[in-house]
Structures are given as structure tokens and as C-alpha cells.
Amino acid sequence: KPLVADADCDVVICAPFVDLQAALDATEGSNIKIGAENCHWAESGAFTAEVSAPMLKAMGVPYVIIGHSERRQYFGETVNKRVRAALDNGLKVILCVGEVLEEREQGVTFEVVGMQTKIALQGVTAEELENVIIAYEPVWAIGTGKTATADQADEVNGYIRQVIAELYGKDAADAFVVQYGGSMNAKNADELLS
């Protein structure tokens, strides 16, 4: 907590469901916010083991990650429904988008990331967009030790901002938060953050 007490940005830790209460307790009174790693699209129903957006809201969890590549790949994630559920319950969404290595090598990164962004934000109003952050996380750079260069990350982040401008206008795009994630570490953080 002392290391980020004077941070001039939002500080968010997204923890597994079983650790959310401990994380909330540990960060109480600090500038650190807690997020969940996912939420279900339905408020209730026969969805054993799923955690709904109202459950997260009731706990006091303000953020949720939606559309992480592993959720898309292994579980066929229904991203737009989850975004809608989170926003309808007052949560801030960290929306993950990104291409696999084969898509990057085939030169379709923009098409893939643009499609993921547009589908996920379908039905999201300009006002609601203020509660969305997009995290560009190329699948080929998550936990692989490979990292996008600063130029690659900047290029795709810029394209995402262009898509937001097309959907919501330049002012919304200029105010929108787009961030990079994927094998960031102490050695490459300065370059990527620049």
C-alpha cells in the first residue's frame, strides 16, 4: 500500500473470487481498488458456481475483468452479455481484447481487435463507456515470456482508440482509457509505459 499511496493513476488489483474479501479487507482505507476476474451474465438462476454482478456489487467490488483471452478460448465467453450485466450493476469493466500469434502473423490484428471491441460494446451508451477500460492483451504475450514492443502495443492501442472514435466520437475516444497487458515485467515496464 505505501508504494502506491501517491500514485497519480488508478490502482486496481483483480483477485480470484476466493480472495476477494481478503483483498477488500487488506486495501480498506487505501487508494487501491479491487476487481474480480470475471462475472456471469445472469443476475440469478441455475448457474452453479458462477458469480453474478449483483454478488460482486453486494461485496463492494467495484471492478471486473471481462473477456480475458483464457475465458474466451476455454469457455467460449459471452462477452457482451457480461459487459451489459456488469454495467447494469454499476461495476467498472476492464474489457480484454487481443489476437493470437497466428492472427498477428496473418496481419489481421486490427480486424480481430476491432471486432472484439465492437461486439463487446454493442448496446453500451456513451455515458456507460465512461465505466469501461480496454486492456489490449495479445494472447501470444500472456504468460509466454514474449512481450509486444512498445511500438506494437502503441499501434494497437491507437487502433482501439480509433474504433472508439468511430463508435462514440473523438471526445469520447480522447477521454477513454486503453492499456496494455501481457508479460510486463521490471525489465520492459519503462519502455511499455512510455
Q: Which of 37, 77, 99, 137 is catalytic?
A: 137
Q: Does the annotation count 40 as an active-site position?
A: no
Amino acid at 30: S
Q: Does the annotation count 68 as an active-site position?
A: yes
Q: Which of 37, 40, 68, 99 is catalytic?
A: 68
- In angstroms, the CA 93 to CA 157 distance is 17
How far separated are the first and last CA of the chain, in Å rounded? Answer: 24
* Element (DSSP H or E) covering residue 56: helix 53-59
Find the DSSP H helices in 60-169: 69-75, 79-88, 101-105, 109-120, 126-129, 150-168
Give the distance from CA 66 to its chain's centroid: 6
**Positions marked catalytic:** 68, 137
